Amino acid sequence: MPLWKIAWRSIQHRAVASALTAFSMALGVALVVAVLVIYHVLDRSFRRSSQGYDMIVGPAKGSPLEIVLSTVYYLQAPRGTIPYEIYEELSHGRFATEVAAAIPVCIGGSYAGFPVVGTVPELFEEFRYLGDRPYEFEPGGRNFSPDAPFEAVIGATVARRAGLRVGDTFRVTHGLAEQGGHEHPDEFTIVGVLKPTGTPNDRALFVNIEGFWKLHQHDARHGKASEEEESVNPMDGDGDEATSETEAHDENHRELTAVLVKRDWTNSAKALALPMQVSKEPGVQSVIPTEEVAKLFEGLLGNIQTILLIFAVLIVVVAGIGLMVSIYNSMNERKLEIAIMRALGAKRSTVMAVILLESILLSLGGGAIGVLLGHGLIGAFSGVILEETGVRVSALSFQTVELILVPGLIILASVVGYLPALVAYRTDVAKAIASGV
Amino acid sequence: MVFPQDESPLLVLRDVRKSFQEPDGGELPILDIPEFTVEAGEQVVIVGESGCGKTTLLHIIAGISRPDEGQVRINGWDITLLSEAECDRFRAENIGYVFQTFNLLPAFTALENVLLGMTFGRGKPDVARAKHLLERVGLAHRMHHKPRQLSVGEQQRVSVARALANRPKLILADEPTANVDSGNQQAVLDLLREGCREENVALILVTHSPEVARQFPRIVRLPDINLVLTRK
């Protein structure tokens, strides 16, 4: 009979204690798995979200990270505006030879709490998301037309949560309604709903930039510009943003909050130098989104992951100590069993191995349950995570790093199983048989 | 490792002495056996009062305890000269043990308990033989039952099958019928003796029951071979 089977029978014989011990191990491992998977999925999603374009030109005011957070993730309001001319220089001016695609972006206003982005239809044609996936529309939908200023396309989450469909109309709220924001009278008509992308774009409404400007020209004609300065962006009621957005849609002074750029790498030296060249222009700075996201992850989120991992590993270690206590406490009543095995010819090292195997089986069994539990939890909350963050996670998002759990748990089980195994090793056979315990 | 020195008898104890340490530090002599031999296939019963050293003698023959002095030669091997691991292996391959309290492992089925008797030797556990032995002791229908699901008589029969499982040269039985109800005592004894006879296994059975003892062709009174008891 193989030794693992002897160990397994022993585990079965103490089913309740074994199940509780394995469960505590499972909880610890589930936490480790959840931390690892969520961090890696976030990391990948954040990095991929910014890969459709490899450079952003934004206002000189504020930090590069702020430009990325506002332009890529819509997590805060833009800190200022840039002249429309910089877009012209990038698309067909001085910098055009190093640029494969340039898309103007003007972020401001909201609908049902979701940000409204003024842009051009090429955004969904020139760029890919999550690596190399093209944007697609739900059946019956299409991209908005460059010639129809009040057409719009909306993200999948917006459509679901706000109950909007193709053909519906919406009005852009300038600022938060509860903070005194007001609705623009002009209505946008939805002509397309994007299929879910798992990117922040699921949670935004995209309107023709011409219509976006017209809204504000209309406001300006009705003397509302001054009011807008009090409440502009739903994500940030800061006066700076108010000013910048108001400037952005001045009739004779079109401005943008950013330009998304895909560089042309035919001449890689020039493409590499482009950010520095563009940053020399007055009032603008160039940002490489991947670099900023990497800095964010390595500088801040990396530390958070380390702290979470330390806590999760500590929980596993505590579960390991629980395992040791459980097996150690059972050793008293098992001395006779060990003595019988010895009397049947088992060596000291053999009974020691049986106890170590029992510890390893419990750890790995608990660990396996923990992996399933961790991924199950991720799967169960994937909808909430997608809704709240725009990041798509799946119960099947396995990470290579999870494989470390196998040798890790074996080592932990061997260490914590050593003490009870030593008790087995030292059992006095004659004494145990004579005393019958 | 010590090499076999001769062919027979199967078991030779020579000048074996064993003492236990008393709580006050003094020594309590238990065994002092100048010579005791058992031939291959022989069935011997050892009788004596409780506490006269019968179980200690079996432990020494099994290599579970070491004598303070003397030789314990089984099938030509002096097991007192073997390392502990070698002695364990020797026991696994040459000796079967039947305990007074059966000592089946509670987590295992009857079949697995018998297989356990073959697990620690050199060969692979032979499931067919284990099943055959259980059939032989009348437990074909109880193979997959755990000890708690068996009567005491059935448990001891499993214990007999387990002792025979590794085709030993010698079976040591320590009061095997003492805890069995009177209806099953003779059945267990018969199974044990017949099993040993069929497989040409020597049997040393320890008992304080005259009824059991008188069925054996050779009865050894421990006081007759143990000088510690003679001196008392």
Instruction: Kindly report, residue by residue over B108-166, the tens digit of the pLDDT.
Output: 999 999 998 888 877 788 899 999 999 988 899 999 999 999 998 899 999 999 999 98
Q: Best of A13, A344, A357, A358 to disrupt the B interface by mutation (most B CBs within 10 Å)? A: A344
The predicted structure's pLDDT at residue B102: 84
Q: How far apart are CA A100 and CA A264, in angstroms?
A: 5
The predicted structure's pLDDT at residue A244: 46
pLDDT above 70 for B3: no
Q: How far apart are CA B140 and CA A276, in angstroms?
A: 87
Preceding peptide of B9 cis, ω within 30°: yes
Shortest distance between the Cα of A432 and any Cα of chain B, in A, equals 11
Express as a percent the part of chain A with pLDDT over 90.
Answer: 43
Burial-class residue A381 by CB neighbours within 10 Å (0-12, 13-18, 19+): middle
CB-CB contact of A95 with A88 (8 Å):
no
Note whether A337 contacts B89, CB cutoff 8 Å: no
Q: Which residues contact A138 (CB under 8 A, 6 or more apart)?
A: A156, A159, A166, A192, A193, A194, A195
Q: Residues A399-416: what's their mean pLDDT?
A: 88
Nearest CA in chain A to B53: A434
The two most distant CA atoms of chain B are separated, in Å, by: 53
Note whether B64 contacts A433, CB cutoff 8 Å: yes
Note whether B112 contacts A344, CB cutoff 8 Å: no
Residue in B101, B107, B120 closest to A9 by CB: B107
Q: End-to-end CA distance of chain A, in Å?
A: 24
Under DSSP, the state recorded for B30 is: E
The predicted structure's pLDDT at residue A436: 62
CB-CB contact of B106 with B146 (8 Å):
yes
Q: How far apart are CA B205 and CA B213, in angstroms?
A: 9
Burial pattern A128-157, b for ≥16 Cβ within 10 A else e, equals bbbeeeebebeeebebbeeeebbbbbbbbb
Closest by Cα among A415, A407, A413, A402 to A373:
A402
Closest by Cα among B63, B191, B48, B207 to B133:
B191
Q: How far apart are CA B108 and CA B131, in angstroms?
A: 15
The predicted structure's pLDDT at residue B217: 92
Q: For residue A187, give Cα distances in angstroms to A137, A173, A215, A222, B39.
A: 21, 11, 9, 17, 110
Note whether B120 contacts A349, CB cutoff 8 Å: no
pLDDT above 80 for B90: yes
CB-CB contact of A261 with A55 (8 Å):
yes
pLDDT above 80 for A231: no
Q: How far apart are CA B196 and CA B45, in angstroms?
A: 13
pLDDT above 80 for B5: no
CB-CB contact of B203 with B173 (8 Å):
yes
Please say whether the dihedral angle defined by the alpha carbons of residues B126, B132, B133 and B134, taken in this order, is positive or negative. Answer: positive
Q: Best of A1, A5, A10 to disrupt the B interface by mutation (most B CBs within 10 Å)? A: A1
Length of chain B: 232
Q: Which two tokens stand for residue A130?
A: 């999550």
Q: Which two tokens stand for residue B219?
A: 């009865």
Note whether B88 contacts A436, CB cutoff 8 Å: no
pLDDT class for B222, splitting at 50, 70, 90?
Answer: confident
Nearest CA in chain B to A341: B116
**Mean per-residue pLDDT over chain B, rounded:** 88
| E strand map for B22-127 | 27-38, 43-47, 69-74, 77-78, 95-98
The two most distant CA atoms of chain A are separated, in Å, by: 104
The predicted structure's pLDDT at residue B112: 94
pLDDT class for A370, splitting at 50, 70, 90?
Answer: very high
pLDDT above 80 for B230: no
Shortest distance between the Cα of A133 and any Cα of chain B, in A, equals 57
**Mean per-residue pLDDT over chain A, rounded:** 83
Instruction: Kindly report, residue by residue over A26-54, the tens digit of the pLDDT.
Output: 998 998 888 887 777 677 666 665 556 88
Cβ-Cβ contacts under 8 Å, B120 against chain A: 341, 344-347, 350
Q: Best of B97, B108, B126, B179 to disrupt the A interface by mutation (most A CBs within 10 Å)? A: B108
pLDDT class for B188, splitting at 50, 70, 90?
Answer: confident
- For the entire predicted model, the pTM comes to 0.70
